[in-house]
Chain A
C-alpha cells in the first residue's frame, strides 16, 4: 500500500531564512510526486510535481524539490522564505497504474517569524 510521511508537523522559520520540508513515500510502482500548499479555509494549490526525468524540479513561488529514489524522499526547499509562505504544505504520491488517487501526507504547518 502506498503511504507518505511528513515527519515535521510544525516548522517555524524566520523571514529570509532557507526552508526544507521533508517528505518520504512508499509506492509499489514508479511514483509520481506532488507538493501542494493550503492557506486557511482554502483549497490546495499545486506547487510542483515530479513524474520522471531531472530529479530536481522547479515550481511556483520559488520552490524546488529533489527526488531521491534511494532514500524514497521528495523534499521541498526554498532559499529565502517570505512571510506570505506561511501555510500548510502537503506531499502526495500517485504513480504508474495508480489512477487519479492521491495519497497525502499529514501536512507540515509552516510559521514565518518576521
Chain B
C-alpha cells in the first residue's frame, strides 16, 4: 500500500506571496492532519480534516487554511507569506477521526523557503 504523498517536495517563495501544498493520504484513510516543523518551535499541529470538514485547529493565524476533497486528498494554503513561515510542512493520515487519537502516518513533507 502506498504511503502518504506530498507535493511539491520543495518550494521557494517570496514574502507576500501565497502557496498551496498538497497531500494524498494512504488509501482508505479519511483523516488528514497538517503539522509545521521549524528549528525554533519544533513540531506544531496546524489542523485536521475528516470527511471534508475541519475537525481540529491549532494556534495559527488565519493566513493558514486548508481543505479536504471527497477523495480525502487535502490541501493547505498559506497567504501573505512571511519569513517565519519557512518550515517543513508535514501531512499525516489516519484511518479515522473521532474522540480518540488514531495512529498517524506521516508523509515526507514539503520544505517551504520564504525569501
Contacts and interface: CB of A to CB of B under 8 A. Distances in A.
A101 B106 contact: no
A57 B65 CA distance: 37
Interface string A70-112: 0000000000000000000010101111111111111100000
B48 A43 contact: no
A96 B48 contact: no
B106 A102 contact: no
Given A97-B99, A99-B48, A45 B106 contact: yes
B113 interface: no
Contacts, number: 78
Interface residues of B, number: 31
**A interface bracket (residues with beta carbon within 8 Å of B):** 20 to 34
B70 to A, nearest CB: 19
Nearest to A107: B42
B56 A43 contact: no
Given A43-B90, A49-B103, A101 B58 contact: yes
Interface of A: 32, 34, 36, 41-46, 49, 90, 92, 94-107
30 contacts: A32-B101, A34-B103, A34-B104, A36-B106, A43-B90, A44-B90, A44-B106, A46-B106, A96-B99, A98-B99, A98-B100, A98-B101, A99-B55, A99-B56, A99-B97, A99-B100, A99-B101, A100-B50, A100-B56, A100-B94, A101-B33, A101-B56, A101-B101, A102-B35, A102-B45, A102-B101, A103-B45, A104-B42, A106-B42, A107-B43
